[in-house]
Amino acid sequence: MTISDHRPLSRRSLLQAMTALAGAAALPTLGARRALATMPDLPANFGKGRSIAIVGAGVAGLTAGWKLANAGFKVTIYEGDSRYGGRSLTPRPVRAAYRDWWFNKYNPERLFPNMYVSTYHEDERSPDPAPQICQFDDPLWNPNSGRSPVELFLNAGPGRIPSDHVALIRLCQQTGVALEPYIFQSNYNLLQSPTFANGAPVAYNKVNYSARGQVAEMLAKAIAEDTQLSAEFRKQMLNLLQQMGDLNAQNQLKDSTRMGYSHLPGGWRDAPIANPAVPLQQTLDSGFAGGGNPETSPGSFLYNADNIDWQNSLMQPIGGMDRVWQRLLVQPVPTGSLQLRSGDPRGRGLQARDGGGKGVRRFVGDLVLLNHRIAGIHETSKANIRIDFVVTDPVGGKSTTGSETFDFCFSSMAPNLLAKTPTSLSPEFNAWLAKVDQTPAIKVGWQGRTRFWERENNIYGGISWTKDIIGQIWYPSEDFNASTGVLTGAYNRGPGAVTFGNYKQKERIAAALHGGSLLHADFAAKVYADKGLTIAWHYMPFQVGGWASDTANTQPDVYRAITDLPRGRLYLAGDAWSYLPGWQEGAITSVYEAIGALAKVHG
């Protein structure tokens, strides 16, 4: 069926078609946009003589620790895990020579060596909690050559920074995190569905510009025939549609090159051959238009890039997303901000460093106690709050208990975990915390034997989309034309992530290889299949999911209840307490809100 086979559009159909052309039908709001959130100005000596405990050494906790230490507080950051970063996890090669190269480049003093992560594991809830080890490596790199290897890493957590995430961008500027472009969409990215062309992948530009041109042609025909419209309005609309759909003077989609070429233009008489338009009905039947909330479902393959949080320009830290919190760890803080207890595990390392000839220096990382699981948060009086913890020896596994008293506490624990922790919070408030819906999320990482996606598909960055359980493949936005690179070989959330997460590691790898083959023929032979990494965030230690499920919009009563803050001397922060769940911007802006509230109540 061709465009000309359709009957003239009614006014109602015309409006519906214009809505579809704009992509609005496929793009729900992901959350209310907010005014610029900044770190509040604090009174002079605001924290002098005061102490604060911070729960969690992710982006929220480290940001809070840095800001409050510099405001004069004595700060202790408790982290239950053996690593920093929370849900910002970036596995890197385990090879010792590569690790040495990395530290020489990014951290020559080797401060806080646990910032380099090669091994991680899911917890006992997972069907496969065995450690996963990052075996990525540049096979062409000789450590003695004097040149750098291809930098290889998997952003297993957050992977991009929208340009309106101004608090995070400002934080990167303050801490020295260099940023570069992140490419969300390339016109050569692939779309795949079992209901399109017998499952064959197709380039995004072929489908997108075909649909845009065909809908524009339909609208142009309807407008040209509508005598109730003024001549001037018809002229303006037809011009708009011609530009939008690349229509000719007769308002027809013919000879457009927007869909790309089946034969690229060359020299002399090597003329290009333009791709034909994809029939509109084929596009409609494909499911590529999709729908639903793209934070909890695949969304719209055609219109995801129009989402406010995914519009150009996006950014990424040079060297991996963990550079955000790694740079926080090495920010200087006043020497008086560190509070050591008797037998403190940090003492020996600090003593050795202080005797190294550079004097007594303290950094945000010195404020952190790893392997300290919070067992309780209790206000003991109107002036104090007690933190109960369990310390696990990372070598022998032996556990001991302890407690310390502070003036205040900031917690960045997930609401659902906080609800299960003994605290002074009321039963009613805990009930609200427990109601917060969490979105399960999974990722897979592959190292390519070559950058085949560039050579074979002209894909330089961006995301390919599939109806398969892997959901997406992300292509690196850096190191174009290098010998190798890392693909995010799956990214799914919601029910698909639950199914995938319930697979054992070998089953996850097999499923991801199959999904990759739907987009790239012989995929398993083009990647190092034995080096694949997988992660199910809802099974990671001290985590309950990828992020809170847009609580402010999907559970407004719950969100209003859990943001009725502060709760005595306990302040709650983290992306779950923001309109940007799952984003580092939400973590940072919630910290600024908590600090502002602390200053208002106790300034």
Peptide bond into 127 cis (omega under 30): no
Q: What is the pLDDT of residue 33?
A: 46
Tokens representing 29 are: 């709001």
Q: What is the pLDDT of residue 356?
A: 85
Which residues belong to CATH 3.50.50.60 in the chain?
51-88+324-437+549-602
Q: What is the pLDDT of residue 24?
A: 41
Answering whether pTM is above 0.85, one says: yes
pLDDT (tens digit, 9 = 90+) per residue, 487-541?
Answer: 999 999 999 999 999 999 999 999 999 999 999 999 999 999 999 999 999 999 9
DSSP symbol at 26: G
484 in Cβ contact with 451 (< 8 Å): yes
The model's confidence at residue 18, banded by pLDDT at 50, 70 and 90, is low
Q: What is the pLDDT of residue 291?
A: 77
Name which residue leads in pLDDT, 433 or 358: 433
Tokens representing 561 are: 């209840």
Q: What is the pLDDT of residue 32?
A: 42
The model's confidence at residue 215, banded by pLDDT at 50, 70 and 90, is very high
- Closest by CA position to 39, among listed 173, 145, 148, 130: 173
> Which H or E run contains 516?
helix 505-519
Does the domain at 3-30+189-310 match CATH 1.20.1440.240? Answer given as yes
The model's confidence at residue 299, banded by pLDDT at 50, 70 and 90, is confident
Q: Give CATH for domain 96-153+441-539.
A: 3.90.660.10
Average the pLDDT over 147-152 and give the result: 98
Sheet holding 314-317, edge to edge: 161-162, 314-317, 179-182
Q: What is the pLDDT of residue 382?
A: 82
Average the pLDDT over 422-448 and give the result: 98
Q: State the number of CA atoms in the 13 A half-sphere of 446 facing the CB.
A: 32
On the question of pLDDT at 410 being above 80, the answer is yes
Cβ-based burial of 553 (10 A; exposed 0-12, middle 13-18, buried ≥19): middle
Q: Give CATH for domain 51-88+324-437+549-602.
A: 3.50.50.60
How far, in Å, CA of 86 to CA of 84, rounded? 6
pLDDT (tens digit, 9 = 90+) per residue, 582-591?
Answer: 999 999 999 9
Q: What is the pLDDT of residue 25?
A: 41
The model's confidence at residue 117, banded by pLDDT at 50, 70 and 90, is very high
The model's confidence at residue 45, banded by pLDDT at 50, 70 and 90, is confident
The model's confidence at residue 9, banded by pLDDT at 50, 70 and 90, is very low
On the question of pLDDT at 5 being above 70, the answer is no
Tokens representing 553 are: 């919009």
Share of the chain above pLDDT 90, in %: 88
100 Cβ neighbours under 8 A, 6+ residues apart: 143
Q: What is the pLDDT of residue 395?
A: 87
Which residues belong to CATH 1.20.1440.240 in the chain?
3-30+189-310
Q: What is the pLDDT of residue 2?
A: 40
On the question of pLDDT at 314 being above 60, the answer is yes
pLDDT (tens digit, 9 = 90+) per residue, 229-288?
Answer: 999 999 999 999 999 999 999 999 999 999 999 999 999 999 999 999 999 999 999 999
Tokens representing 228 are: 């109730």
On the question of pLDDT at 442 being above 90, the answer is yes
Average pLDDT, the chain: 93
How far, in Å, CA of 463 to CA of 337, rounded? 44
The model's confidence at residue 11, banded by pLDDT at 50, 70 and 90, is low
- Closest by CA position to 502, among listed 550, 554, 538: 538
How far, in Å, CA of 489 to CA of 508, rounded? 11
The model's confidence at residue 342, banded by pLDDT at 50, 70 and 90, is confident
Which residues belong to CATH 3.90.660.10 in the chain?
96-153+441-539
